[in-house]
Each structure stands twice: as C-alpha cells, then as structure tokens.
Amino acid sequence: MKPQFVTLEGVEGAGKSTQKSALCHWLRARGVPFIETREPGGTPLAEAIRGLLLHTDEDPPTALTELLLMFAARAQHLETRIQTALAAGTWVICDRFTDATFAYQGGGRGCPWAWIETLESLVQGTVRPDTTIIFDVPVDVGLSRAAARSEADRIEREDAVFFERVREAYLRRAEADPERFIVVDGTPPETQVTEHLLATLATRWAL
C-alpha cells in the first residue's frame, strides 16, 4: 500500500487530539512509519503563521487575510514536510488540513467556496488526503468540552452559530466524497470512539 496521507477534522472539542494519539499508537504497533503533524503549522515558519492566526487580537486578520495565511502556512508545510515524507514512504497523520479551510473560512466566515478551490489547486496541485476522519459532535457538546480544556484562542471565541456553520460544512464535504471521508460520532466515551474508529480503519487498510 502506498504511504497514506490521513487528516483528522472536527469542530472544537470533538475529541480529535485524543483519537489522533490512539491512531498513532495503533499504527506504531503495526510497524507503520509515519509522522504526526498539524495545521496551521507543522514547520517553524508555518507555526509562526499559526501564532499570527490564532493569537493576534489587536488588528485581527480579515476573512481574506485569514484564508491567505492558512494557505501560506499550508504551502510551506506541504512542500517541505508532507510531500517529503510521503515521497520517502512515510505516512502523514495531520491534525486538520484543507477541509478545515472549507469548514471554517468557507462555512464559518462565508468565504466563497470557489476562492478556496482556486487556492487549493494553486497550493496543492492534485495532492489530496487519502483518508479524512471527521469527528462529529453537536456544537454545544464540543464547545463545553473545549471550554473546560483551555483558554480559547481567537477562532475558538466565535459563537455557536459560527460553529454550526463549520459543522454543517464539514458534513456537506463528507457527503460529497464518501470514499475519502469517514465520519465518526464523537459523542460517546473516548474508548468507545477509539474502538469504532480502529475497527473501521482495520477494514480500510490491510496492515
């Protein structure tokens, strides 16, 4: 099997980070070589852009600036890290990728889908994740979990209506491409979510 590019998505508090650790543990036990990374970020420059995106409260970016910065970080990350890893036969497990841009900047901020598609083909060419796992939870559940966890960053401080649009955009994307997406209900206890996820992946990948 060719090295897989796997992305994890979901609204805040959907359980992405916990399930990412479980997935990485499972891959390691099967001897799969992989790197773990995230967006925005994943390289020193892209992490610096992440800081600008999430922690600039004075002179916050406009929707278009936010969109362009997401793709600037992505261009750096994709070329210098993701593609290098895949070319070397290493899987890439990435916490968020372009589906987050469709969900947050598209659904949440209302940037036209066509702008995002244009930037996607400019920055990525034909590169797309092989598998995208969306952890889906009702917005109120996700937000109360996120609030209990840490101080909210600039984007996490948006209201529930914003996150309803984000969630809806994620589910719309999943519906349009059932081959690539796996939607996992993130509401049950963590161990149950992990069990369900790993059972699904075991049937998808011959490891």
Tokens of residue 166, six digits: 């984000």
Residue selected from 5, 49, 95, 170 as contacting ligand TMP according to rule CB under 6 A: 95
- Residue among 23, 69, 100, 197 that touches ligand TMP (CB under 6 A): 100
Output 77 or 194, the one with its CB closest to ligand TMP.
77
Q: Which of 20, 23, 37, 40 binds ligand TMP (CB under 6 A)?
A: 40
Expressed in angstroms, the distance from the first to the final Cα of the chain is 9
Residue 144 parent element (H or E): helix 139-149
Residue with Cβ nearer ligand TMP (9 or 130): 9
Answer whether the bond into residue 138 is a cis peptide, omega within 30°. no
Shortest distance, position 31 Cβ to ligand TMP, whole Å: 28
Alpha-carbon dihedral sign for residues 95, 61, 57, 165: negative
At position 32, the amino acid (one-letter code) is: V
Q: Contact between 137 and ligand TMP (CB under 6 A)?
A: no
52 vs 13, 78, 111, 120, CA distance in Å? 22, 19, 19, 21
91/163 with CB nearer ligand TMP? 163
Q: How far is the CB of 203 from ligand TMP (least distance, A)?
A: 27
- For tokens 């101080």, the residue is 151
Among 47, 79, 120, 156, binds ligand TMP (CB under 6 A): 156
47 binds ligand TMP (CB under 6 A): no
3-state secondary structure of 153: coil
DSSP state of 31: T
Residues that bind ligand TMP (CB under 6 A): 39-40, 70, 95-96, 100-101, 104-105, 155-156
